[in-house]
Amino acid sequence: MSIFNALTTAVTGLNAQSSAFTTLSNNIANSQTTGYKAQTTSFQDFVTGASSSGNASSDTVAAVTSSHNDNQGTISSSTNTLALAISGEGFFDVSQPASASTANSVTFSDQDYYTRNGDFTLNNNGYLVNTSGYYLNGYMVDGTTGQLSNSLSQIQIADIGFRPTETTTLTLTGTIGSSTTSSATPASYTSPIYDSQGTAHEADVTWTQDSSNPLSWTVSVSDPTNASAISANSYTVTFGSDGTVASIADSSGSSIGSTFSGSSAKIPITATYNGVPQTINLNLGTIGGTSGVTLSTASSTSSQTPQLASDSVTSGTYEDITMETDGSIMANFSNGDSQLVAKIALSNFANPDALEAVSGQAYVATNDSGSPKTGMVGANGTGTLKTSSTEGSTTDLTSDLSNLIVTQQAYSANTKIVTTANSMLQTTIDMIR
């Protein structure tokens, strides 16, 4: 190897150590950055030729920076209740606002970004934004139908209205007739009922008294606006001489529930809306009880006007949101109920180390990383979420500071080669003087 080649090799050594120094300094600077993935530097030589004896000669060295995006950082608790940390290999799907966005109107770039920085807060437009300014993506729930979308979009918590809860029980109270006389006119009571999507329907409860036995009544429930919504049903309710419910039987004569005093007196009804079946119990009170459905008797002097009521909660004021470990974002209301408003999406890659890093602890997909596999939390090997938590930097300060010393010494050694080569060249030049 000539003196000039040695000089060139030393220069590449200086460049390689400078690159390693840059990587180390970047790691150290981001030792407290949420979701930061540390990089490492390795070195490779370039063989440019071989001697007559067959031994290869190496003239240069190059630094190769390696990403370790799949390394798990330490998860720590956070006072931010909206903060999330991924335990596993997934990435949050996030977006960046387009340049045309304004304070009150946000449009988004078509570029897809991925990050491990889950330190999110709600901005003034109701979007979940992390500390690097990236907007969280997921699957939104339609505020009208309650259906979860299968299309990815930016999660926005704004104009959240309360959807009435699904009806599970209709309760009838009051005096529906007499135990001593029969009525030819059926008694009918109506109440709104709500399906699983919070859509209102109507339930009509009809009572028909037996013409020969005033203590025996046939009861059925239907939806007058949708005849096929509620399965055909017919039950016989028998009262005691005191006017309280004594027994309930279905159309085949089989008893429904117990006939012991104090037992629950309920009739099961099956309804189907939007293809989703739901069971609604018609609550008549208790066997032998006076707080539910009753008949007036010869000895009774008072009666209670019948009332049919649904257990659905129909109103509530939005208060805040809660993050769940399965990626559900729940809206909390003043009535104590919580309702799903969105689901967080996570993505995974065949080769996450090949993702291209961009500013703000974010990445974009490359040919080498493969296309993202995006879905719900836990799908595609994405891992789980830790709520009120953040993932720390994967920087190893002890190791990096040690490597910093080694890098400094290697850099200095390369400078010695440069100065020595310079002296040798100077000696050569001095030979002809």
Q: Measure the CA dihedral 409/413/418/423, to 10°.
A: 130
- Total count of domains within the chain: 3
Give the N- to C-terminal CA distance of the chain in Å, as an integer: 25
Claim to verify: residue 104 and residue 120 sit in the same structural domain = yes
CB 348 within 8 A of CB 382: yes
The SS3 of residue 76 is strand
Distance CA 4, CA 279 (A): 89
Domain residue limits at 265: 169-310
φ and ψ at residue 362, rounded to 5 degrees = -120, 165
Out of 310, 330, 362, a domain closes at: 310
| Residues 171 and 308 sit within 8 Å (Cβ to Cβ) | yes
Strand partners, 427: none
pLDDT at residue 228 in the model: 95
The pLDDT of residue 51 is: 55
Task: Give the 3-state secondary structure of residue 411.
Answer: helix
pTM for this prediction: 0.79
φ and ψ at residue 110, rounded to 5 degrees: -75, -10
Kindly tell me the sign of the dihedral angle through the C-alpha atoms of 97, 99, 102, 107.
negative
Q: Which domain-ending residue is among 284, 310, 336?
A: 310
Q: What is the CA radius of gyration of the chain?
A: 37
CB 238, CB 247: distance < 8 Å: yes
Q: Are residues 353 and 406 in the same domain?
A: no
Instruction: Give every CB contact of residue 231 below 8 A, 6+ residues apart in sequence.
Output: 269, 270, 271, 272
Query: Measured between alpha carbons, how far is 115 from 130 in angstroms, rounded to an integer?
Result: 10
Residue listed under structure tokens 């009809």: 206
- Are 56 and 178 members of one domain? no
The DSSP 8-state label assigned to residue 126 in this structure reads S
CATH number at residue 210: 2.60.98
CA distances from 298 to 241, 243, 302, 389 (A): 10, 10, 10, 69
Residue ending a domain, choose from 246, 276, 310: 310
Question: Residues 70, 367: contact at Cβ < 8 Å?
Answer: no
- Sequence length of the chain is 433
Task: Say yes or no: 182 and 251 in one domain.
Answer: yes
Same-domain pairing of 286 and 213: yes
What CA–CA distance (Å, rounded) separates 383 from 90? 6
Distance between CA atoms of 221 and 334, rounded to whole angstroms? 32
Q: If DSSP codes are grouped into helix, strand and coil, which group holds residue 291?
A: coil
From CA 289, how far away is CA 255, in angstroms rounded? 18
Q: H or E stretch including 332? A: strand 328-333
Are residues 267 and 181 both part of a single domain?
yes
- What are the CA-CA distances from residue 15 to residues 12, 21, 270, 405 (Å)? 5, 10, 76, 16
Separation between Cα atoms, residue 355 and residue 20, nearest integer Å: 20
Q: 36 near 361, Cβ under 8 Å?
A: yes
Instruction: Render each residue's pLDDT in the chain as its tens digit; 433 residues.
Output: 577 777 778 788 788 888 888 888 888 998 888 989 888 888 888 776 655 555 555 578 888 887 888 889 999 999 999 999 999 999 999 999 987 666 677 899 999 999 999 999 999 999 999 999 999 999 999 887 888 999 999 999 988 999 999 999 999 999 999 998 888 889 999 999 999 989 999 999 999 999 999 999 999 999 999 999 999 999 999 999 999 999 999 999 999 999 999 999 999 999 999 899 999 999 999 999 999 999 999 887 668 899 999 999 999 999 999 999 999 999 999 999 999 999 999 999 999 999 999 999 999 999 999 999 999 999 999 999 999 999 999 888 988 898 888 888 888 888 887 888 778 878 777 777 6
Going by the DSSP 8-state scheme, the letter that residue 133 receives in this structure is: S
Of 76, 120, 93, the closest CA to residue 392 belongs to: 76
Q: How far apart are CA 37 and CA 54, in angstroms?
A: 43
**Does 87 lie in the same domain as 63?**
no
Whether residue 106 sits in one domain with residue 177 = no
Question: Are 293 and 217 found together in one domain?
Answer: yes
Contact criterion met (CB below 8 Å) for 362 and 113: yes
381/98 Cα distance (integer angstroms): 31
Please, is 431 exposed, middle or buried when counting C-beta atoms within 10 Å of its C-beta (0-12, 13-18, 19+)? exposed
CB hemisphere CA count around 56 (13 angstroms) = 7
**E strand or H helix at 364:** strand 362-364
Residues 387 and 398 in one domain: no
Q: Tokens standing for 307? A: 């009332």
H or E stretch covering 189: strand 187-194
Does residue 188 sit in the same domain as residue 304? yes
Residue 307 β-bridge partners: 173
Amino acid occupying residue 259: T
3-state secondary structure of 10: helix
> 421 and 296 share a domain?
no
